[in-house]
């Protein structure tokens, strides 16, 4: 049994001063002010001084890190990715595929399913893959970004089921362009199977976007990026994303993908409930400038920017840095910024027991300074420093 103490705790919905969190068998059993909780006998108390305890961060859109891409990494490579993520406060994540040949995609989904199933048996303190986010192949040719045009697919129930079967039911998030023929039917079926359907890489007009939402879509992939631009007379997909309170919206807060003033606009439109921080990180994250892979595509990384033939191709952002950037760009306090990187993504992807510190929840926590710097990470009650 372990007890954690600090100056402050964000659940993140509530603030607790001088908190105590008691952990047993990887779960939180008691939480509240230190003065109101009796420490059980033989319980080890670990104090973190003036630091802040918060839910472990949850990244629902990441392609890799530490030199490894999730579509290519073996078990050792996945462990390197997950250890790197944990060092930056991430305790749960959704490895994200990109468009590739069908054979390569199916093979990658099988490997990722293996990783998810094997990690559940591990007690090592590293980020845990909870499910797969498939970004492609059901994307718009006009807004495909770096996704290879030759490998894009028309959305059909048959193709979706092939992906589902290869992933052994571990698909939890799916990006799709809602304007494509067949998209509403695929969105409805994916939603029926418990997938969070996200609209993105899309040239949809407003009506097409709304049809996707009516079919079951409830999230937006990297808002503003790879989307039809917002027009005051023809608002398109962004008009729906920004005005529909039922949609949550990803934002890549690196200052490259979206200008800080536009990030401020998105956060005002979506509020504390609907803003979801993601990294869209690549294998280059945590690595020096150079050439890396994003799926089967080579990308060049220079001065913090990832490109393929001049087009943005993912990022080198870490989620703790995104939290700090959101505080700066949108003038949010740490508690609100942490919510956008923990509770909101967990709820978006229906990740039970994640993103909220309360009795019965998994003991996934991050220890931070008041400025958002990570000092330690706890995954299911195991400390990683």
> Which conformational region is residue 355 in: left (phi greater than 0), alpha (psi within -120 to 50 degrees), or beta?
left
Q: Could you confirm whether 364 is annotated as catalytic?
A: no
d(CA 275, CA 287): 28
**Of 280, 320, 362, 364, which one is the catalytic site residue?**
280
Q: What are φ and ψ of residue 4, in 5° steps?
A: -110, 135
Catalytic site positions: 280
């Amino acid at each position: 049994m372990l007890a954690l103490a600090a100056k402050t705790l964000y659940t993140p919905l509530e603030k607790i001063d001088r908190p105590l969190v008691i952990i047993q068998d990887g779960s939180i059993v008691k939480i509240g002010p230190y003065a109101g909780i009796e420490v059980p006998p033989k319980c080890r108390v670990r104090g973190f001084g003036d630091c802040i305890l918060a839910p472990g961060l949850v990244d629902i859109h990441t392609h890799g890190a530490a030199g490894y891409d999730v579509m290519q990494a073996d078990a050792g490579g996945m462990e390197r990715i997950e250890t790197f993520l944990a060092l930056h406060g991430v305790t749960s994540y959704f490895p994200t595929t990109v468009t590739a040949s069908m054979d390569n995609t199916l093979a990658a989904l099988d490997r990722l399913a293996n990783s998810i199933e094997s990690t559940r048996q591990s007690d090592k303190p590293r980020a845990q893959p909870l499910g797969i986010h498939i970004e492609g192949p059901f994307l718009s040719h006009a807004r495909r970004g770096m996704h290879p045009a030759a490998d894009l697919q028309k959305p059909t129930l048959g193709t979706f089921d092939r992906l589902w079967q290869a992933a052994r039911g571990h698909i939890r998030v799916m990006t799709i362009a809602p304007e494509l023929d067949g998209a509403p039917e695929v969105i409805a079926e994916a939603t029926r199977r418990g997938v969070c359907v996200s609209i993105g890489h899309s040239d949809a007009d407003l009506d097409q976007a709304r049809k996707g939402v009516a079919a079951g879509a409830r999230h937006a992939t990297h808002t503003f990026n790879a989307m039809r631009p917002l027009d005051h007379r023809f608002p398109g997909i962004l008009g729906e994303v920004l005005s529909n309170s039922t949609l949550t919206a990803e934002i890549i807060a690196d200052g490259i993908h979206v200008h800080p003033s536009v990030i401020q606009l998105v956060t005002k439109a979506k509020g504390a409930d609907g803003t979801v921080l993601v990294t869209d990180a690549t294998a280059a994250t945590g690595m020096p400038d150079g050439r890396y892979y994003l799926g089967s595509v080579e990308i060049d990384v220079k001065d913090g920017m990832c490109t393929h033939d001049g087009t943005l191709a993912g990022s080198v952002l870490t989620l703790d840095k995104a939290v700090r950037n959101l505080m700066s760009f949108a003038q949010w306090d740490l508690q609100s910024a942490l919510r956008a990187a923990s509770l909101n993504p967990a709820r978006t992807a229906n990740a039970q027991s994640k993103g909220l510190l309360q009795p019965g929840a998994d003991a996934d926590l991050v220890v931070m300074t008041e400025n958002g710097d990570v000092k330690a990470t706890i995954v299911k009650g195991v400390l990683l420093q």
